[in-house]
Each structure stands twice: as C-alpha cells, then as structure tokens.
Chains A and B, each alone.
Chain A
Amino acid sequence: MMAARTRIWFLALLPVALLAVLSLVVANTGVVSFLRQGVPPVEELTFERVTLAPDLITLEVVNGGPDPVTVAQVIVDDAFWEFTVAPSPTVARLGRATIQVPYPWVQDEPHEVTLLSSTGLTFSHEIPVATVTPSAGPRFFGIFALIGLYVGVIPVAIGLLWYPLLRRLKRRWVDFALALTIGLLVFLGADALHEALESAAQLAGAFQGTLLVVVGTLGAVLLLQMAARTRLEGGGAKGRGAVAFLIALGIGLHNLGEGLAIGAAYSLGEAALGAFLIVGFMLHNTTEGLGIVAPIAQDRPRLRTLAGLGLLAGVPTIFGAWIGGLAYSPLYATLFLAVGAGAIAQVVIALYRVVGRESEGSMWTPLSAGGVLVGLLVMYGTGLLVAV
C-alpha cells in the first residue's frame, strides 16, 4: 500500500524533477548565449502609471520584455531632462522602476515623455491633458465618492423603483422585463469584455493581456456556477432570489470596472468628466436597477433585501473610482473587468434557464425575443450618451 503511494508520487514528480534539472542546465551553461548569438537584446518598457504634481512628472514603468532594460536618459517634449530613478536604472524582467522628472509642465497642454534606453531604443508616453493628479485626502475621497454615487448608486436605486410597477404587471410583461434584463446584461457583458481587452492591450507583453481576460472571464463563470449551483437548481422563489443576487453581483463587478476606468481617466487627466457624461452614465445605469428586480418581481422581497441588492450593484463604483484614481494598474483593471464580464455571462446563463423554466420551454416568443432586443437597444441608445 505504502509502496504504491510512493510509486504514484514518484511518477508524478519524475517529469517535474527532470524539468528542474534541465532548467538549471540551460540557465548555468552557455546554451542561451549560443542560441542568442548576435541577436540584440529585446527591450520592452510599459508605462503603468503617470502622475503629475506641480513641476514634477512621475513615471511608473514595468519591464515586460525578456531582457533587462537600462533607462539611460529621459526626454520630455524633445528635450533631454534631469531625472531620478529608483530603485535602479536597470529594470529586470517583470521589474518596476519609478522615474521622477522635475519638469515645468503646462496646465491643460499635452506633453510627451520618452525614455531612452542604453541601447538607444525609445519608449514614449503621451500625457493628453496635463493637470495635477489628485492625491489621497478627504477631498479626493469625497469627489470620487460623489462620482461613484452619481454614476453607480443613485441610478441603480432609481431603477429599483420600478419594482412596484413590475409587481402590478401581467405575467407575460414580467417575462418581457426578464428578457429585457437579458439584453441589458448581454450588452454590459460585451462592454466589460471589450474594455477588458482594451485594457489588456496596454499591458506589458509578459502579462499576456488577452489570455488574462480569457482566464478571468471563464474563471468567474466557472466559480460562480459552482458556488450557486444548488441554489439555482432549486428553482422557485429561492432560485429567483439567487438569480437576483447574482445579477446584482455581476452588475456590481461591472460597475467596479467602470469606476476604475472613470477614476483612472479622471486622475490621468485623460478625460474631463463633464456634466454630459455624468448624466449619460445615470441614464445608462438606471436600467441596471430594473434588471435586478425583474426576476423577483412576483416574490415580494423585503425592502432590506432590495436595498442590499442595490448597494451590491452600485457601491462598487465608488470603490472602483477610488482605486482607479489612486493606484490605477492596467493589470488589475484588466482582471476586474474580465471577472465582471464572466460574472455577467454566468448570470445570463442562469437567467436564460429561469426564463426557460417559467415559460415552460417556449423561449423565443416574440415578447421574449423582443424583450432581449429592446434591452440591447435601450443600452445602446443610452450608451450613445457615454461613449467617448
């Protein structure tokens, strides 16, 4: 018995041990230099975060390439400029460095920062509109909480106010509302996926942005499916309650990503968040509240439950805005957005089942298919107000 177990372990670890030995051989003999003969080093530096203080530009870079990169000089707007770099000008693979450039930048004007490596390669970052990056403090948290409140919490809460209406509707119109919710969620999921991929494109190559999105999205789908399996399969009021919870969670994760994007854009001076944009987001996100209450319209949930669902969906916007404004990292933004897309995909699957079960198989009636379409169209229409 013992021998059999040892044997299993041996068989499992043998290839691992061989790999380890081989790795040591590759690392410690001349194999690499032989293979790389004459090929110049591949250099890659990615700007993770650029912040502005009076007379100071701070650049945080990450080396996503296979070789170390040495930052030799800094050029700002076609002029070599003084700088300091910490912890070291030479940035190892997956290493980071913070570069401070004391530069008299001009409010509201674009600036371009270029890093010149020891081999003469250049890595540039454009600051589209220069303005002081907000720093942590009561004012910062206040402003971003207010943005999150306007963009996330209030619209969702207003959307929840459709609950009394839904309760008074005939059954087929409730199904229509559910179908509309599916359309809305599909739109949000696609939006989150799109933003995740867009953010993935800014990542250093080593982080494999696109695949991170795949892992994050599918991971979220699978984990949520596993966790919610028993409740969802139960059906009835319990199942519908679980669906509403998952919708709120999915929307919450999506809004976290949205908050991240808004906070980051605001702090990086990439978007002046105008009144138009805020009103747009409010309209856009109000439909989310409708989506949350649609599955439980017939169940008379308690007010506390409704409020809880609303907060779950809306409040993450505030956290997102804080994180995005203070410590934006494309890596985490990509991951959050991908997880959000996965959570929404999972809830669409669950909702589809609910609709299928309640309508006893006659899924694609004109009313339900029309509901999905209307959901998509409403989101697209209100999206016109927020898309930049």
Chain B
Amino acid sequence: MRGSTRLSRRELLKRGAAGAAGLALLGKAGEAAERLTSRARDPHAAGTVGSVGDGSLDPMAFLGHFDHGRVTRLPSGQILREYEIHAVDREIEVAPGVFYPAWTYNGQVPGPTIRATEGDRVRVHFRNVGTHPHTIHFHGFHPAGMDGVFEPVHPGEDFIYEFDAEPMGLHLYHCHTMPLKKHIAKGLYGVFVIDPKTPRPPAREMVMVLNGFDTNFDGENEVYAVNTVAFAYQESPIEVRKDELQRIYLVNVLEFDLVNSMHLHANFFHVYRTGTSLTPDEFTDTLMLCQGERHIIEFTYRHTGRFMFHAHQSEFAELGWMGLFNVVDHVV
C-alpha cells in the first residue's frame, strides 16, 4: 500500500459543504494543489498523485448505496416507491485536483442508484434546477409519455415519471435531451435495479458504473473510471470477505469510446446478461460492454490478498479505470 495522505470521512464532508457553499474555482484548485504530495516513486507505477477531497461523490459510499424510495401502498395493494431526483449543475473532482463542470442528478455523478422490485409502481419526482432542459429516460417498460424523450423539462420546471417496474433486471436511466452525447458525457446517468419477485441469493452487492470524462472537451476522454473518480478503488481497495458471494451491478455508460470491459484477476465470474435471468449466461474473467450495456456478475474469492480488476483496454486502465479488491478472512 502506498503511503498517501487520505482524508478522513469528516474532512470529506467538510470540504463537500465548503464546495456547496460556492468556493471559487481557483480556490478549490489551490486547495487541491496543497493536497498534491511529492513522493519518490518507483518508475513502474501508473496512477494519479494526491487524493480527491471534493466531496461530491464518495466512491466507497456510492458502491453499496441503493435508494429504495419512499414506500407506501396504492389502494390496489400495489407497492408505490417514490423518488426525488433533481438535475443540477455542479463541478466535480474526477481525479485528484482535476475539476469537471458536470451536469448531475442530485449533485452526484453517477446519479443515485434506484432500486425497486418487479411489479412495484415507480414514481419519480423530477425537478430541473440546472441551466439546460433535461429529462430522465428510464430503460424498461413504460408508456410513451413516460419515456423522457419528447417531454423536455426546462430549468425551473417539474415532471413526474410514473410506471410499473418491469422487466426485472439491471437497467439504467439517463437524460435524453439532444444533443444526447453532451447530456450523457456531462454526467446525467444512473443505475436502475429491478429485483425479481423472488430475491436473488444473499450476497455482498456493489454498483459499478463505468464512465469517463472529456475534461478538455475535444471529444475524447482524459479520465476513465469506475464510479467517476479515477483510480478510486486502487487508492482505497474494496475489502471483501473470502468465500462470500460477491454481486456487481456493472453498467457501462462510457461516452466517445465504442466499448468498455471488465476483467477480474485470479478469478472467474458468472454473467447474468442485463440481469434479466436468474441462470447465468456465461462463465468468464473478461466481459465486453458497449455503451448502455449492463450485466450482473457474481463471483467468490478462494484466496485472500489483493486482486486487481480493470478494463482490459490497457489504455482505459492506465487512465483511471483500475481498482483493487482486498480479500480478507473477516471484514473488520
């Protein structure tokens, strides 16, 4: 483990609050500059220098966080889940000291992971407090008027999306305002999980959104990541327990590049394509995903120690899409 100046959780929150209070760009950059540490390093180590302290997204917290909504019952007995989502412009830190002027759902990229069970009624209260028209386009079955394509929500306006959660599987939501490429690249996307009526077996569950950022707006990504922050899980490896079933909700939203992928070291995983079946489609250690493609993968570690996972496009890996599992006997 490399010696780094990690920020405590409290410090992160404090910085986040300062950011929300409207710290000037240069002020923030200066603060980030202070955090850049000088370390003598062996010349064969890729990675960023410093740590992210922006507070707009804590990759470790995002990994295991699911928004189940506010749950009530409709007169028919059907479960109603209500979610609050607003679109807002926000500058986010995508690599230590590198700030990106994002468009976000709820101030974070990716947006909150929405979770429902097949057959539930989903009601999303959407409010646009950004500077451009936005929508939410959910993948799944729903009426035409709920598709988030022909119903632009202008700044200051509201919209309520309502539909039944189906089919079960791993889906996503994203803004569908034109120009589409811009609205997605700027960060308007999130994960939409629909659980089967009979739950999947218990497991340690994680959400991984494969994304990237074109920070200089030249139509190519400078930063690649899983869950926005380059090398986040390399800097702080994800602790998992040996012999425990791991389940990853893996969603690729990467803009500009044709494909993305997931490769797991020293292990193989079962693939449930789009999560729409309870029987696995494939057993592999490298999985390719185009934009919008998403799969549930499940695996168990037989050995303790540190294991890498990353895009098997080496370029993406070295530009930020690389992480580590730290497999232990017991998670402390």
Contacts and interface: CB of A to CB of B under 8 A. Distances in A.
For A68, A85, A119, A121, which residue has the most chain B Cβ atoms within 10 angstroms? A119
Contact of A118 (B38, B44, B98, B216): B98
B37 to A, nearest CB: 9
B28 to A, nearest CB: 8
Interface stretch (B46-54, B162-170, B187-195, B275-283): B46-54
A332 interface: no
A80 B320 contact: yes
Chain B interface size, as a band, is 35 or more
Given A79-B318, A80-B320, A116 B215 contact: yes
Contacts, number: 107
A74 B99 CA distance: 14
Contacts of B32: 70, 72, 118
B98 A102 contact: no
A118 B97 contact: yes
Given A80-B48, A104-B44, A72 B39 contact: no
A122 B41 CA distance: 23
B331 interface: no
A41 interface: yes
Contacts of B315: 78-79
B29 A118 contact: yes
A328 B216 CA distance: 30
Interface in A90-141: 90, 102-104, 116-122
B99 A120 contact: yes
A122 B49 CA distance: 16
A85 B95 contact: no
Nearest to A122: B216
A82 B41 contact: yes
Interface of B is mostly: loop
Contact of A116 (B26, B40, B43, B222): B222
A116 B318 contact: no
Contact of A70 (B29, B48, B216, B318): B29
B222 A120 contact: yes
B319 interface: yes
Interface string A42-84: 0000000000000110000000000110101111001111111
A305 interface: no
A84 B38 contact: yes
A280 interface: no
Contact of B222 (A41, A56, A75, A86): A75
Contact of B48 (A55, A68, A73, A89): A73
Given A55-B43, A70-B33, A122-B222, A83 B100 contact: no
A81 B230 CA distance: 12
Interface string B70-93: 000000000000000000000000
Given A78-B315, A116-B222, A104 B29 contact: no
A323 to B, nearest CB: 30
Nearest to B217: A120
B6 to A, nearest CB: 17
B231 interface: yes
B43 A121 contact: no
Interface in B9-47: 25-26, 28-30, 32-33, 36, 38-47
For A68, A74, A104, A120, which residue has the most chain B Cβ atoms within 10 angstroms? A120
Contacts of A68: 26
B25 A41 contact: yes
Contacts of A202: none
B97 A80 contact: no
A88 interface: yes
A118 B39 CA distance: 20
Contact of A80 (B42, B43, B47): B47
B98 A90 contact: no
Contacts of B152: none
Interface of A: 40-41, 55-56, 67-68, 70, 72-75, 78-86, 88-90, 102-104, 116-122
Q: A-B pairs with the 5 shortest C-beta distances?
A: A120-B215, A72-B97, A79-B318, A118-B29, A102-B43
